Amino acid sequence: MFDRFTEVVSLVLGALAVAYLVYEIDRRQRKLHDLWDVLDGEDAILTNTLEDMVESGELVPYAGATLA
Amino acid sequence: MARSPRRPGSSRRETAEAGLPSSAAVREAGVSDPPIQTVPAPISGNEKPPAASRFRIFIVDSGWNSAARRVLLENFALIRDLQKEDPIYVLNRERSIEFMRRHGSRIGRDPIIAVHDMQALGKGGTTGFHGFRLSLGLLRTPHQALMGLQAFARFLVTHRQSADLEADIRANLRREGLMGAIEIAMHHEAREIGE
């Protein structure tokens, strides 16, 4: 009886540990995905805006050694 | 809609910007650091980025008084030296604010460093993968911001010739997939961004 109880407790604790690990990995991955964004079709407008500014001459390559 | 491949280089005109006080002078006056501004480029002949630039780097910074911004200001010269092959375009405060107003979901994530992969843009335009973006403003401490910046510089230098840049970004920066999950579980990504 006691053995069964400890078995159940161990299983529950093990499941909780795994669940926490999965949650933590997912949380960190989401943080990384927020930090490092991949540009794709959803960012087309953003990209085109910047590229248009370059092509029109509004933006020129920064040539200074340091920022002011 | 796919964009046609862009010609390298373009005609440009000088962007006239007012001179700005140095950061030290501004601090003496008790004012927070000035926003990153485009400094009038010293005119020394017809400067063009190298024809073989793989990347175009854009810095968008609306001027939040944040640790990330200070770290970027302090380390910009080194970033620039490490990325000599690629042109860096710095949006001034007004353009950055206008940019943020148009793309409101990005507010608070700046300074943002966007990298356009010219190889991918030339092949498939903007419909598919064409670059990546580092939202430096999401890193709250100077240590985290510095490590993020270092990871960014390291990635660009080591993956300049990458045949599949998207896969490299997903594996090495975003830690996707099973290997990514293992590295996260072993805290590798935490060490890399200073947590």
CA dihedral B1, B3, B4, B7 (to 10 degrees): 180
**Is A33's CB within 8 Å of B174's CB?**
yes
Kindly determine whether residue B10 and residue A55, on different chains, have CB atoms separated by under 8 Å. yes
Q: Is residue B45 part of a domain?
A: no
List beta partners, residue B59: B90, B113
Q: For residue B134, which residues of chain A lie inside 8 Å, CB to CB?
A: 35-37
pLDDT level of residue B28 (50, 70, 90 thresholds): very low
Largest CA distance in chain A: 80
CA gap A53, B13 in Å, rounded: 11
Domain parsing of chain A, residue ranges: 2-55
Of the candidates B11, B103, B185, the beta carbon closest to that of A21 is on B185
pLDDT value at B38 more than 60:
no
User: Chain B: residue nearest A52 by CA?
Assistant: B6
Question: Which amino acid, A14?
Answer: G
**Phi, psi angles (nearest 5°) of residue B162:** -60, 135
Q: Two tokens at A13?
A: 């604790």
Minimal C-alpha gap between B67 and chain A (Å): 15
Does residue A1 sit at the B interface (CB-CB below 8 Å)? no
The shortest C-alpha distance from A50 to chain B (Å) reads 8
* CATH code assigned at B123: 3.40.30
- DSSP, collapsed to helix, strand or coil, labels residue B163 as coil
User: What's the pTM?
Assistant: 0.75
- Strand order, beta sheet including A36-39: A36-39, B131-135, B112-117, B55-60, B88-90
Interface pTM, i.e. ipTM: 0.81
What is the tally of structural domains in chain B? 1
* pLDDT > 90? residue B16: no
**Spatial separation of the C-alpha atoms in residues B107 and B49, rounded to whole Å:** 30
List all residues of chain A from 7 to 46 with a beta carbon under 8 Å from chain B. 21, 25, 28-29, 31-41, 43-44, 46
- Measured from the Cβ of residue B67, the count of other Cβ atoms closer than 10 Å reads 18
Contact A67 B12 (CB under 8 A): no
Nearest by CB to residue B6, choosing from A38, A51, A59, is A51
The confidence band for B50, taking pLDDT boundaries of 50, 70 and 90, is low
Q: Which residues constitute the domain of residue B125?
A: 50-162
Residues B47/A61, Cβ–Cβ less than 8 Å: yes
Which chain A residues are within 8 Å of B125, Cβ to Cβ?
Answer: 44
Q: Would you say residue B135 lies in a domain? A: yes
Q: Are B168 and B159 in contact (CB under 8 A)?
A: yes
pLDDT tens, residue by residue, A24-50: 889 988 999 999 999 998 889 989 999
B176·A29 Cβ contact <8 A: yes
B177 vs A58, which has greater pLDDT? A58
Cβ burial A27-63 (10 Å sphere, 16+ → b, else e): ebbebbeebbbbbbbebbebbeebbebbbeeebbbbb
CB A64 within 8 A of CB B39: yes
Who contacts B139 (Cβ-Cβ below 8 Å, separation ≥6)?
A35, B67, B68, B145, B147, B148, B193, B194
Cross-chain Cβ contact B42/A41 below 8 Å: no
Answer yes or no: is B88 within a domain.
Answer: yes
Residue A21, pLDDT above cutoff 70: yes
Does residue B5 have a cis peptide bond before it, meaning omega lies within 30 degrees of 0?
no
Q: Say if B4 falls within a structural domain.
A: no
Q: In this structure, which amino acid lies at residue B55? A: F
Comparing CB atoms, the residue among B116, B129, B134 nearest residue A40 is B129
Residue B32 confidence (pLDDT): 43
